[in-house]
Chains A and B, each alone.
Chain A
Amino acid sequence: MNALFVIAGVGVLALVAEIVNLKRWLTAFVVLGLAAALAFLPLFTNHEDASAAFSNMLVFDGPAVTFTWLIVIITILWLWMASGYLRDSTHQTDKTSLVIFVALGAVIMASFNNMAMLFLGLEILSLSLYALAGSRKDSLSSIEAAFKYFLMGSFATGFLLFGIALVYGATRSFDLVSIIKVMSENQGQMPGYFYAGILLMMVGLAFKISAVPFHFWAPDVYEGSPTAVTSLMATVVKIAAFAAFWRIFGWAFSFASDTWLNVVYGLVILTLVIPNITAIYQQKAKRMLAYSSIAHVGYMLLGFVGAMSAKMVDPLFIILYLAAYAVSSLAAFSVLMKVEQNGGSFSGLYYRNPMLAVTMIFALLSMAGIPPLAGFAAKYFVFILALKAGHVGLVLLAISMSLVSVYYYFRIMISMFGKEAEISPIAVSWGDRLFHLLLILLMILIGLFPSIPFLDQIIGF
């Protein structure tokens, strides 16, 4: 709870830095602030332990705490990576504080216990993000991305609100615990518009996690936004959206899973197939990474379906997947940023700066799910969950799609070793080198020892 105050305070203070002229130390201050926020988090690991706040509007239970840890750590890593973007041109303080508010919204989305708070968290996150997407004001594509994101995002929020209203009408409550109570009291006797409300909420949230067929905004927005902001969308925002999705569907509505699980099957199949196939045809690495980010949603949803069928209430596999994906895609986007600053072509990157190329190789291998890297451990648990629930067909589909993904990931790899490339070395600062090394280490560590942060808690299943 106090963590939330700390994050909000850091965000406000970041704005003040403009006035008192402390821009130099801003990023360091913000990172320290976020780290301090972690210290205020309770150390819960399951649903039963919880600390509620604001008369049960927010509940920091085990999953919320774990999601918050992940969100804050990834935000810190992102700040390290994007310090160049933040310092770039004007509005450093505005951008920094907007990022902090994104994290704030994300934490609320991970810990809400009331639909009103879900809406609030989502809007804090989204509004900051719309502004960030358009933060490069001299670039037409950035403005286009912001506008597109804004229009589509408000549309999706409309769906979500409509759904919340219908659910409220049926249960007379915004409070998740009361909704669960009403549902279990009237088993199967809920009015039809309650289920309509659930489906509308699913549309709204599927939009936020960018599941197919609600993904059309993602490639354009990802491509148009400044690369640093794109990587924020692919990591922190995705974590928050999944946290909210899990809290609503994996927990609150899990009683009614018979009614909506079939819809998720459809989402899984579409989200596995379409982005993976589309990514093959992309010519720009950034757009390809956007499609790959949508494709990973498919694997997470597959694990979600497996967990739901097996009546598993722990989201740790999603957290593991998100952690693995976030670390790998931070590495990929970080290299992409460096490449964009130096001509924008991956061709011959290995000869221009081997360290960048090696980081990219690790990122791509991890995203493709090759052991012993993080992406493999994540996919492995997804497959285990899905097979446990008996979805052999879906797993085989997911496997063939990850083979397809190898093809487009490796195209980047092949071009990095392209033989007839101009040789103009790319200079990389020691800070960035250290950052890349850290990410590589994280990918290996999460891959080899997923049990240390996460697994021992899944083991009960």
Chain B
Amino acid sequence: MITVFLIFFPMFMFLLLVGMRHRNPKWLALAGAVIEFGVSIYAWMNFTKDSLPQFAYDVPWFTGLGMRFSVALDGISLPLVLLTTTLIPLIILSSSDKNFNRPSLFYGLVLLMQSALVGVFTSFDILLFYIFWELALIPIYLICLIWGTEKEGRVTIKFFIYTLAGSLVMLVGIIYVFMSPQPGQPQGFDIANFMALGHTLSPKAQGFVFWAMFVAFAIKMPVFPFHTWQPSTYTQAPTQGTMLLSGIMLKMGIYGVIRWLIPLVPIGVAEWGTTALVLSVVGIIYASCIALVQNQMKTLVAYSSIAHVGLISAGVFTQSVIGIQGAMIQMFSHGLVVFGLFYIIDIIQQKAGTADLKDLGGIRNVAPKFTTAFVIIMLGSVALPLTSGFVGEFLLINSLVQYHVWIGAIAGLTIILGAVYMLVAFQQAMSGEAKPFTASFTDLSTMEKVVLYPVVILIILIGVYPAPLMSVSEPAVTALVNSLFQLSSSIQP
């Protein structure tokens, strides 16, 4: 029941916010998000660290079609649920000095988004997963459309059509798997039956299903060459929208690969996984190189996000325990870091009136606390040891090196390139002489501290002591990889 509560409580809060027209929607939303956070922590505390789904709730839905309302938490979903419930209150807090028009709708949509995201991460029925997957698109689309900076709505509609195209192709893949059972095999969308259906597909059909689903996930992440919607959307969305997109929503794609794609079509993954892996690595280099020459900080972080996510996706496609474990921890870390970075950019934008690196400089002298926070978050982004980014990237690159030395070496460039563009950006913005825009820069306000310090502390805490988080996902990931191993050994004579 905890899982059901986690999914539907934010939706209830959404209805409450939109229907009630509360005088102070921000605090009502925050209260809701904090309760949700508390419940997720409670679930974490009571989580038995094994590979089985827990807190399950399972009832039939479309009776004859084999679709069920089946939700649960296991080691792979719990970290992402925790990430969602941690970031949403921070995202709400980070908007505390903003005055949106129609705030109740804005905060309502953020919570609706949370509901859909938790639903995506906890569904154990692929049709249910699909429904939440699509549901998540609507609030973020509206957030970008209504509170974004552009007037024509072209960027948002590009984003919407792009991701919808991916999901519709995925739907074809899902129906295709569902429609091709062996004689006597039960049809069903619930995870056990569906995976069994996928395993019996012919190699050619598995390749087809692999691409149908991979495209959907690749667009969401985004992996090169499906990324073209991302930088413009990130740039024009309101900061909170960008945080939702980059902090949580992009993890939906990686989660989809781990939960649904890899176990569903093992032969398809064996055949095409390397292609996907190489695409991801190409994306790393490509996005890092573009990030090197960006002046707008938001665009820079957008491209750096493509690079980071490429590394995670490459690690997942190695199908090894360390690769997927690295992905799990790096997803959490990247969520925190990218949230922090976008918040920092937002602060600079507000206080200096611009986030163009050429106009910035000398902030270090006037805002030491701000600088410290920026340094730590930036170091988390470039994966310095003792920050959360290090644990994840180390495992990921390790897995890639074991997969193939050269791929590992090329992917390892991401750390160097990442350090270069982040440090250059940091240097340009923070050190040197103060420029007209930054002369009146003030240090962190209390509210900004309340948002930034937890992020900073979490980044260091996970970097120093990642065990509590990693031990949650480890049994599930190990079981997943073992089952893959057994499958492939049973297929090959």
Residues of A within 8 A of B (CB): 350, 354, 361, 365, 370-372, 376, 380, 383-384, 387-388, 392, 395-396, 399-400, 402-403, 406-407, 410-411, 413-414, 417-419, 450-451, 455-456, 458-459
- Give CA–CA (A407, B165) in the complex, Å: 12
| Complex interface: chain A residues within 8 A of B131 (CB) | 371-372, 376
Specify the chain A residue showing the minimal Cβ separation from B18: A358
Cβ of B63 and Cβ of A410 under 8 Å apart? no
Least Cβ–Cβ distance between B168 and chain A, in angstroms = 5
Contact partner, A371, options B63, B130, B152, B165, Cβ 8 Å: B130
B381 CB to nearest A CB, Å: 34
- A-B pairs, top 4 by smallest CB distance, nearest first, are A459-B64, A414-B153, A371-B131, A399-B168
Chain B residue nearest to A386 (CB atoms) is B175
* B161 pairs with A396, CB closer than 8 A: no
The reply to whether A406 and B179 contact each other, CB–CB distance below 8 Å, is no
Question: How many Å from the CB of B220 to the closest CB on chain A?
Answer: 16
Provide the residues of chain B in CB contact with A458, threshold 8 Å: 64
Look across to chain B and name the residue whose beta carbon is closest to the beta carbon of A350: B146
Q: How far is the CA of A450 from the CA of B67 in the complex (A)?
A: 12
Report the separation of the CA atoms of residues A170 and B175 in the bound assembly, to the nearest whole angstrom. 42
Q: Interface size (B, Cβ < 8 Å)?
A: 33
Q: A370 and B134: CB pair below 8 A?
A: yes
A406 touches B164 (CB 8 A): yes
* Min CB gap B127→A, angstroms: 9
Chain B residues 106 to 141 lying within 8 A of chain A, measured CB to CB, are: 130-131, 134-135, 137-138
Q: Does B416 contact A (CB under 8 A)?
A: no
Q: Across the two chains, which residue of chain A brings its CB closest to B105? A: A354
Interface of B is mostly: helix
Assess whether A455 is in contact with B62, with CB atoms less than 8 Å apart: yes
- Interface pair B134/A371, CB less than 8 Å apart: yes
CA distance A384 to B168 in the complex (A): 13
Q: A370-B137, A384-B179 are in contact. Are A413 and B145 (CB under 8 A)?
A: yes
Which A residue sits closest to B67, measured CB to CB?
A: A451
The answer to whether residues A371 and B135 also contact, given A399-B168, A406-B160 and a CB cut-off of 8 A, is yes
CA distance A206 to B63 in the complex (A): 35
- The digit string for B167-187, where 1 denotes a CB below 8 A from any CB of A, is 011011001101100000000
A to B CB contacts below 8 Å, 20 in the list? A350-B146, A371-B135, A372-B131, A380-B175, A383-B172, A383-B175, A387-B175, A387-B176, A403-B161, A403-B168, A406-B161, A407-B157, A411-B153, A411-B157, A417-B145, A419-B151, A450-B62, A451-B61, A455-B64, A458-B64
Instruction: Given contacts A399-B172, A406-B164, A459-B64, list 19 more A-B pairs with CB under 8 A.
Output: A371-B131, A372-B134, A372-B135, A387-B179, A388-B179, A392-B172, A403-B161, A403-B168, A407-B157, A410-B153, A410-B160, A450-B62, A451-B62, A451-B64, A451-B65, A455-B64, A455-B65, A459-B63, A459-B65
Which residues of B (75-132) have their CB < 8 Å from a CB of A? Answer: 102, 105, 130-131
What's the Cα separation between A395 and B168 when bound, in Å?
10
Check if B64 sits within 8 Å of A456, measured CB to CB. yes
Tell which of A354, A370, A392 touches B138, judged by Cβ atoms closer than 8 Å: A370
Q: Which residue of B lies closest to A358 (CB)?
A: B18
Query: Which residues of chain B have a CB within 8 Å of any CB of chain A?
Result: 61-65, 102, 105, 130-131, 134-135, 137-138, 142, 145-146, 151-153, 156-157, 160-161, 164-165, 168-169, 171-172, 175-176, 178-179
B169 nearest CB neighbor, chain A only: A399
A42 to chain B, nearest CB (A): 24
With contacts A387-B175, A396-B172, A459-B64 taken as known, whether A403 is within 8 angstroms of B146 at the C-beta atoms is no
Q: How far does the alpha carbon of A361 sit from the alpha carbon of B165 in the complex, in Å?
A: 20
- Residue numbers in A under 8 Å from B65 (CB-CB): 451, 455, 459
- Give bound CA distance, A417 to B62, whole Å: 36
Instruction: Give the complex CA separation of A399 and B161 in angstroms.
Output: 11
Query: Within the assembled complex, what's the spacing in Å between the Cα atoms of A451 and B63?
Result: 8
Chain A residues near B61 (CB, 8 Å)?
451
B180 → chain A closest CB, angstroms: 9
- Smallest distance from the beta carbon of A131 to chain B beta carbons, Å? 41
A407–B131 Cα distance when bound, in Å, is 21
Report B-chain residues with C-beta under 8 Å of the C-beta of A380. Answer: 171, 175
Residue of B nearest to A461 (CB): B64
- Residue of B whose beta carbon sits closest to that of A400: B165
- With a cutoff of 8 Å between Cβ atoms, the chain B residues found around residue A400 in the complex are 165
List residues of chain B with CB within 8 A of the CB of A396.
172
User: In the complex, which of the residues B130, B164, B175 contacts A403, with contact meaning CB atoms closer than 8 Å?
Assistant: B164
Q: Nearest residue in A to B133 (C-beta to C-beta)?
A: A371
Residues of B within 8 A of A387 (CB): 172, 175-176, 179
Closest to B157 in A: A410
A129–B493 alpha-carbon span in the complex (Å)? 70
How far does the Cβ of A459 sit from chain B's closest Cβ, in whole Å? 3
**Once bound together, how far apart are the Cα atoms of A403 and B162, in whole Å?**
9
Residues of A within 8 A of B164 (CB): 370, 403, 406
List chain B residues, Cβ under 8 A from A413: 145
The smallest C-beta distance from A211 to any residue of chain B, in angstroms, reads: 23
Determine how close the nearest CB of chain B comes to the CB of A371; give it in whole angstroms: 4
B63–A414 touching, CB < 8 Å: no
Hey, which chain B residues are within 8 Å of A411, CB to CB?
153, 157
Residues of B within 8 A of A402 (CB): 168
Complex Cα–Cα for A354 and B108 (A): 14
Q: Across the interface, which residues of A come within 8 angstroms of B153, CB to CB? A: 410-411, 414, 417
Residue of B nearest to A404 (CB): B161
Which of A417, A419, A458 counts the most B-chain CB atoms under 10 A from its CB? A417
**Residue of A with least CB distance to B137:** A370
Contacts of B64 in A (CB 8 A): 451, 455-456, 458-459
Complex CA gap A383/B130 in Å reads: 15
A34 to chain B, nearest CB (A): 31
In the bound complex, residues from chain B placing their C-beta under 8 Å from that of A417 are: 145-146, 153
Alpha-carbon distance between A406 and B168 when the two chains are bound, in angstroms = 12
Residues of B within 8 A of A414 (CB): 145, 152-153, 156-157
A455 and B165 CA atoms in complex are apart in Å by 27
Q: How far is the CA of A376 from the CA of B63 in the complex (A)?
A: 18
A407 CB to closest chain B CB, in angstroms?
Answer: 6
B172 & A403 in contact (Cβ 8 Å cutoff): no
Given the complex of chains A and B, what is the CA–CA distance between A450 and B178 in angstroms? 19
The residue on A at minimum CB distance from B156 is A414
